Amino acid sequence: MDYFKDLAELLKIEKLEDQAQYKKLTESASIGERRASGLTWYPVAIRGQELGRGDYLTVEFERTTHQDLPHQFRFGVPAVLFSNHDAKTDRLEGTITYQGGNRLKINFRTDELPDWSRDGKLGIDVLFDNNSYEEMFSTLKKAENDESDISRVLKGEKAPTFYLQENKYHNAQLNTFQNEAVNNVLNANHLSIIHGPPGTGKTTTIVQAIKALIDKKNEKILVVAPSNTAVDLLTEKLSAAGLNVIRLGNPARVSEELQAQTVEGRIKNHPSFKDIKTWKKQANEYKNMAHKYKRNFGKAERDQRKALFDEAHKLMKEVEKIEEYIIEDLSNKAQVVTATLVGSNHYSMKNINYDTVVIDEAGQGIEPACWIPILKGKKLILAGDHCQLPPTIKSQEASAKGLSNTLLEKLTVKYPEAVTLLQTQYRMNEQIMAHSSKTFYGNLLKAHESVANHQLSTAHPPVQFIDTAGCGFEEKLEGTSSTNPEEAAFLVKRLEELVNNFSEMTMPSIAVISPYKQQIQLLKEFISASSILQPWQSFISINTIDSFQGQERDAVFISMTRSNSDGEIGFVADTRRMNVAMTRARKLLVVVGDSATIGNFPYYSDFIQYAESIDTYKSAWEYLS
C-alpha cells in the first residue's frame, strides 16, 4: 500500500533537511557557539565509570560551567566525547543512557577510556540523531505489512466499531463531557479520540479513562507523548492515582519520585538488585586488575590479562541475565508503561504488546513517530488538540506535502463518531475564551462558573487590544527573526502600570509572549532594566509561544511584533500558535499589535472587531498623548 511509502518519502525529505541544518550549525561553529545552540557541553568532568550493558563502558559526566544553558542532550541520542587539545583526532562516540540535571551517562563501545581523556579539556557534542529516524523508517516498513484491525481502521480500510456497556461509567468528580469521553474510551473496540481544548481538563480525563480500563477490564496500557515533559506529567498523575507505572527513558524533571518510576530506578529497588551490585563490583575489579598490565608485556602477562577480562565478561553475562529476569518481573506487574513516542521502543520492553495505546498531545507528534507505539497495541486512544501547536517540522517541503497533517487531524475528520469534545473549560474568563471558542471550536466551549467572570480587578477588563497603527513602531529584521523595539518599550510601560496596582500579596502571575525569539530577547532586556519591574521578576515569565504550551498565567501580554507597509506577518499567520498564546491567560489578556499589518488576516480582524464589540479596543495614541 502506498500510504506508508508516501509517509516514508516525506520522512526522508525531513531527515535530509534536519541533517543539513545540523551540519550548518556544527561544521564551522566554535565550541562557544555550539554550546549556545545546546549541542555541546564544555567543559565536562568525569564523575564515575562502570561496566554497562553489552560489556561496554558506561561513563558519567558533569558539565561544570554554563549549567543554566538549555541543551539537546537526551536519553538514547548519540554523542561524542572530545578533547579540546585535538578535537579532530581525540574523539570517542557512544550513546546517552541517562541525562538528568547537569549530569549524563554515555555507553561507549570500548572497555576503557583512551589515554587523552586523562589530560582534561574534555567536552561532549550531541550528534545528529539518526537512531530516531531509523526507528521510524523500520516501523513504517512493519506497518506496511500489518493487517491488524487497528492498522486497517487507521488506514481507512475499515470503520471503528463500538459496543455499549450495560452500566454506563459515571465519576462524580468529572463533568458531563469528561464522563462521556471515558465512556467512549471504554466502548471503543479500535479507536477513541479525546479532543481537549485549552483548560478543559484533558489530563484529568485521560488518567480517569486509563484507571477505568484497568479497573473494569484489567488492561495493560502503554501511554506515550511526543515530549518528555508531557510524559513526566502523565507519569506523576497516573502514579498519584494509585497505578503501578514504569517510565521508560529518563525524565526531564529530575525529581526523586520520577527517578524511582524509571526502569533503572525500579531495578535498583528490586530484591535481586543486590546480586547485580555484587557481581558488577567483582567484574569491575577484574577489569581494573587487567588494565594494570602495561602494554609491553610477555605471554604469561597477556594470558593473565585475557583470563581476567574473560572472568569479568562472564560476570557481566550473569548481570544481564538477572537484569532480564527483573525487567520481566517488573513488566508483568506494571499496569501502565509511559514513554516518549520513539522511547516506547526502549530495549528493556521492546517486544511487549499492550491492550491499549494512549497517545497524549497527539497534535504535536508526526505520524511516522506515532506508529512506533501504535503497532504495540490492539486499541488506540488519541488525546490532544489539533487547533493548538502543530508538530515541529524542519522541512517546509515535507510540511507542505503533508507531514504536518497529524494522525489526530486525519482521524478526527474521518471518524467523528470516535471523537468527544471536552466543552467545559476551567481556566479563562469567558471574554478571553470567546474568540478562541468561535474560531476553533464551533462556539461550543463554555467557561465553568468558577472562572467565567474572574478578573484581576474591575479596573482591568479581561481582554484588551492596543492598536499601534500609525505610531511609527516599525519592525526590524535581525537575522531570520523580527524585532520591534518601540513596541517592546511600549508593552513594558503597560506592564509597569499594571504592577503598580498590586502588592506582594496580590501580585498576579504574568506571561510576556512574542512569536519571535529576538523580540523576546529585547523584552527580557527592557524588563530587567526597569527599576519598577525589578522587584517583581519572579512573577514574570518571558518566552516564545511554544514554551508556554500547557501552561497558564493570571495575566498574559502578547507583543505581535510585525508592523510593515506590505502587510507581511510571516509565521504569525499560523493561527494555531496564536490560539495557544491567547488561551494561556486566566484573568487578563493584553494584545499589542499593528492593526494595519495584522488586520488584513481574518483571524486578527475578527479579534479586533471582537475587542471593539466589548469596548476594550484602544489606540496606543491614547497612552502616548
Contacts of 484 (CB under 8 A, 6+ apart): 473, 474, 475, 476, 519, 559, 561, 562, 563
Give the DSSP H or E segment for 414. helix 407-414
If one compares 257 and 200, the residue with the highest pLDDT of the two is 200
For residue 264, what pLDDT is reported?
86
CB burial of residue 315 (10 Å; 0-12, 13-18, 19+): buried
Instruction: Give me the residue label for grid cell 468558577.
Output: 450
CB atoms within 10 A of CB 133: 19
Instruction: Tell me which residue has cell 510601560.
Output: 493
Residue 427 near residue 552, CB atoms below 8 Å: yes
116-130, 314-328, 400-414: segment of lowest average pLDDT:
314-328
CA distance 605 to 567: 13
Nearest alpha-carbon partner for 419 in 384, 462, 367 = 384
Query: Which is nearest to 409 in space by CA: 344, 365, 356, 343?
Result: 365
User: What is the CB neighbour count within 10 angstroms for residue 482?
Assistant: 25
C-alpha to C-alpha distances, 363 to 347, 352, 359, nearest whole angstrom: 26, 25, 9
The percent of residues above 70 in pLDDT, for the chain, comes to: 98
Name 222's bridge partners: 337, 357
| Whether the Cβ atoms of residue 198 and residue 583 lie closer than 8 Å to each other | yes
Q: What is the structure's pLDDT at 16?
A: 97
Band (pLDDT 50/70/90 cuts) for residue 1 is low
Q: Which DSSP helix (H) or strand (E) runs through 332? A: helix 299-333
- 3-state class (DSSP) for residue 534: helix
Strands, E assignment, 7-77: 40-51, 57-63
Closest of 46, 24, 26 to residue 36, by C-alpha: 26
The answer to whether residue 292 scores a pLDDT higher than 80 is no
Residue 335's pLDDT band, with cuts at 50, 70 and 90, is very high
Q: Residue 417: what are its φ and ψ, rounded to 5°?
A: -65, -20
CA distance 234 to 244: 13
- 421 vs 197: CA distance, rounded Å: 8
* Alpha-carbon distances of 265 from 56, 73, 373, rounded to whole Å: 20, 20, 23
Instruction: Identify the pLDDT of residue 294.
Output: 59
Question: What is the phi/psi pair of residue 592, to 5°?
Answer: -110, 120
Q: Is pLDDT at 625 greater than 60 in this prediction? A: yes
The SS3 call for residue 162 is strand
Predicted local confidence at residue 123, as pLDDT = 95
- pLDDT over 90 percentage in the chain: 72
* pLDDT (mean) for 514-539: 95
Residue pair 536/499 in contact (Cβ under 8 Å)? The answer is: yes
Q: What are phi and psi of 166, to 5 degrees?
A: -70, -45
Q: What is the CA radius of gyration of the chain?
A: 27
Average pLDDT of the segment spanning 418-424:
98
Question: At 305, is the pLDDT very low, low, confident or very high (cuts 50, 70, 90)?
Answer: confident
CA dist., res. 73 & res. 58, Å (int): 16
Express each pLDDT in 576-603 by its tens digit: 999 999 999 999 999 999 999 999 999 9
State how far the Cα of 553 lies from the Cα of 573, in Å rounded to an integer: 24
User: Which element (helix H / strand E) includes 210?
Assistant: helix 202-217
Q: What is the mean pLDDT of the chain?
A: 92
Q: What is the DSSP string of 188-202?
A: BSSEEEEE--TTS-H
Taking only the tens place, the pLDDT of each residue in 100-155 is 889 999 999 887 889 899 888 999 999 999 999 999 999 999 999 999 999 999 99
Q: What is the pLDDT of residues 10-65, one digit of tens each?
A: 999 999 999 999 998 888 889 999 999 899 999 999 998 887 766 688 999 999 99
CA 264 to chain centre: 21
Average pLDDT rounded to a whole number, residues 545-566:
92
Which residues touch 86 (CB under 8 Å, ≥6 apart)? Answer: 116
The CA distance from 507 to 555, in Å, is 10
Exposed (0-12), middle (13-18) or buried (19+): which is 46, by Cβ within 10 Å? Answer: middle
Q: What is the mean pLDDT of residues 352-366?
A: 96
Determine which helix (DSSP H) or strand (DSSP E) holds 187, and give its type and residue range: helix 176-187
Least confident of 251-255, 292-296, 404-408, 553-557: 292-296
* Three-class secondary structure of residue 317 per DSSP: helix
Q: Which amino acid is at 568?
A: E
User: Tell me, what's the pLDDT at 297?
Assistant: 67
Q: Which residues of 17-35 are buried (b: 16+ CB within 10 A; e: fewer)?
A: bbeeebeeebeeeebeebb
Measured in residues, the chain has a length of 625
Amino acid at 483: T
Using the predicted structure, report yes or no on whether residue 358 has a pLDDT greater than 80. Answer: yes
pLDDT of residue 50: 83
